Structure 1
Amino acid sequence: MPRYAISFDLDRKALTTDGYTDSQINNDIYGKEVKTALKKCGFTQHPEGSVYHTEKLNEEDSLAPIVMLQQELQRNAPTFCKYVKSIHLFKMEGWSDILTLIQNQQLPGLIIPRKAEDAGDIAA
């Protein structure tokens, strides 16, 4: 079952130049306009910042979020459409939270070499 994700960046400098406050950008544009439009397209999961993804979709519904995306954003997120400076849509194979690895915390049953010389013969 496929899942899709979307990531984007808004041009905050242009928004500020055009008179938008940080509060308006964060609460009105990111918090309401974008979130509402993406939710209508099935992008209901918001794991962080400017990243949203769909739940696992049935095969017959797999393209529905993508087909709806352009119309929904243009109709219900005009500020987003005007100030978006990059936007990427991709198919997700999986989603892994690797925070514990990045923070050098030990996961049960996983041995992570700390130094290159400790790595030994790890196959690439």
Structure 2
Amino acid sequence: MLSGRVHPAEAYRQVEFDARVHGASQQELVWICFEQLIGALGTAIHADTIEDRALRSRSLSRAVSSLLALEMGLSGDDPVVLAMRDLYGRARTSILSCAVQFDAERLEQIRGDFAEIHAALSAG
């Protein structure tokens, strides 16, 4: 019955995401992007272990989209912005290469790095 349709859990996740984004402050949007990135990488790793290639692909795409949103939110050319732009670009390149040659260890490292940054931003 659901063939060709969005899975109900995915539809719920999208509605929840849209509700969080609508009216969020700039700082909250950054947190949401970090959460989406970290979650998407975790889901991609899990999807690979259960051999669900479609879920793995969707999750990697969601991770790349989160990085692009974070990068688009950067402005200026101070050293911190340049470092973040470089970090996002390198992470995006690594994630895209994992779409061709999956590397769970590399994705887990990226996930851990962004979880640390997210925790530091949340504490500040």
- The structure whose RCO (Cα within 8 Å, separation 6+) is larger is 1
| TM-score normalised by L of structure 1 | 0.29
Structure having the larger proportion of residues in strand: 1
| TM-score normalised by L of structure 2 | 0.29
